[in-house]
């Protein structure tokens, strides 16, 4: 009987968290993860209107933030499938003009635009953000 109760408890526990895994992330989830990792940023207001990122990806506008070194553009799509196809479309543009790195998790794409070289510390922190969002449920 104890094994059966333990089995039901585990089934319930893993069943609940497994159902959350497929849910899309919200912008608030991304911001909360940045805070949890200890990354501070400010809303970027001085980007040119014709910036390729500000123009958006398939009518999806980014949330743009200034980091210590560089800028991040956070795109939150409706689904992972939409993110994947939108990023493929986006890379048909002259994106190579911008030194950047793309981070992807679920329905979120984060572009880190940097100066002359990639800041390794920020790269590690952004990878930590992505890892955290992959491993945790926000609902």
User: Does pTM surpass 0.85?
Assistant: no
Q: Which domains does the chain have, with CATH numbers?
A: 23-135 (3.40.1000)
Q: What is the pLDDT of residues 64-99, one digit of tens each?
A: 999 878 899 999 999 999 999 999 999 999 888 889
Q: What is the pLDDT of residue 54?
A: 87
Residue 21 — very low, low, confident or very high, per pLDDT cuts 50/70/90? low
Three-state SS for 76? strand
Q: For residue 88, what are its two tokens?
A: 């493929």
Sign of CA dihedral 117, 91, 96, 68: negative
Closest CA relative to residue 72, chosen from 127, 34, 110, 118: 110
Percent residues over pLDDT 90 in the chain: 53
Asked if 64 contacts 53 with a C-beta cutoff of 8 angstroms, the reply is yes
């Amino acid at each position: 009987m104890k094994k059966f109760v333990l089995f039901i408890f585990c089934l319930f526990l893993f069943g609940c968290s497994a159902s959350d895994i497929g849910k899309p992330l919200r912008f608030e989830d991304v911001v909360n993860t940045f805070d949890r990792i200890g990354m501070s940023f400010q809303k970027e207001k001085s980007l040119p209107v014709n910036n390729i990122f500000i123009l958006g990806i398939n009518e999806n506008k980014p949330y743009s933030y200034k980091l210590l070194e560089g800028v991040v553009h956070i795109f939150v799509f409706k689904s992972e499938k939409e993110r994947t196809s939108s990023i493929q479309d986006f890379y048909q543009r002259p994106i190579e003009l911008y030194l950047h790195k793309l981070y992807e998790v679920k329905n979120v794409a984060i572009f880190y635009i940097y100066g002359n070289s990639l800041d390794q510390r920020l790269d590690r922190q952004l990878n930590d953000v992505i890892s955290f969002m992959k491993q945790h449920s926000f609902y």
